[in-house]
Amino acid sequence: MTPATLLAWHRKLVAMKWDYSKHRRPGRPPIAAAVKALILRMAAENPRWGHRRIHGELTRLGHKIAASTVWNILNRAGIDPAPRRSGPTWKQFLAAQAEHIVAVDFLHVDTVNLKRLYALIMLEHGSRRAHLLGVTANPTDSWTAQAARNFLIDTAIDMTKLKFLIRDRGGQFADAFDAVFADAGLRVIKSPPQAPKANAHCERTIGTLRRDLLDSMLILNEHHLRRTLTRYLEHYNTARPHRGIGQLSPSQAETGPPTPIDLAGHRVHRRSILGGLINEYQIAS
């Protein structure tokens, strides 16, 4: 071993002892991915919040971060850091006004002999109750207006609690239809062209009708369709759970959730609906 080799070993030992490159990176420490995700979530859920409002919310939660850091995260994500972003989305608007909104839309069904029928469906956003306003093979504007009058005469809905009615721009909805609900104190909102999200709740209800019922049945005529939809909507309003109201049925949402029970100590009865196409389950009394 030469003195040069010994000195080289010593230099390497000294360099290894004082090497902190693996323990510390130059510059500020990176922001945790969870913090970035929370900032972007707050910006998406609160369109009117700017970067300083979000910074304040993080401080209130106990997380110390610079306001400029929040600004940079929003800016890099393509989000305006100032509170000048667009107004509420259709989803946010519908959720905020749910208890004051009803929506209508047509459901079309082809019978066994390929005759097309139309059913006019109304949905209460707040309670998720669905109503059948009528069934016809010729949905003219005069028929639609008369169906609306008939419904308002017979309905048990408290119309004083409603403020808006959402409909599309179909030719079946004319000024006479709007006037019927305007006389009842509702403001008619026409959804933008080709914007199903503007009437998303009603569109989803119609999709449920197809998946749960109509895709598995052959409809014979108007009377058969009217009877079938009437029976299904009774099930829809009283027994079918809805995710939008905590997996309760509309009737349960109005009276309160049931008392939790131990299913091991109770018998559960099944009741067939529409010839066994749908089943309802109840605790045996």
Q: Is 86 helix (H, G, I), strand (E, B) or coil?
A: coil
Tell me, what's the pLDDT at 94?
67
Report the distance separating Cα 215 and Cα 73, nearest Å: 47
Give the domain range for residue 235.
93-254
Tell me, what's the pLDDT at 10?
74
- Give the chain's domain count: 2
Task: Write the pLDDT tens digit of every residue in 103-118.
Answer: 999 999 999 999 999 9
Report the distance separating Cα 133 and Cα 169, nearest Å: 18
Q: pLDDT under 70 in the chain at which residues?
A: 18-28, 82-95
Tell me, what's the pLDDT at 58?
87
Query: Do the Cβ atoms of 271 and 280 come closer than 8 Å?
Result: yes
Query: Do the Cβ atoms of 118 and 135 come closer than 8 Å?
Result: yes
Same domain for 154 and 45: no
Same domain for 113 and 29: no
Tell me, what's the pLDDT at 277?
87
Q: In the listed set 68, 87, 106, which residue is the last one of a domain according to the structure?
A: 87
The amino acid that residue 85 corresponds to is R
Instruction: Provide the CB-side half-sphere exposure for 121 (13 A, CA).
Output: 31
- Please name which of 75, 101, 72, 110 lies closest in space to residue 161, comparing C-alpha atoms: 101
Query: Do the Cβ atoms of 165 and 104 come closer than 8 Å?
Result: yes
Same domain for 216 and 102: yes
Global confidence as pTM: 0.68
Same domain for 127 and 240: yes
Tell me, what's the pLDDT at 186?
92
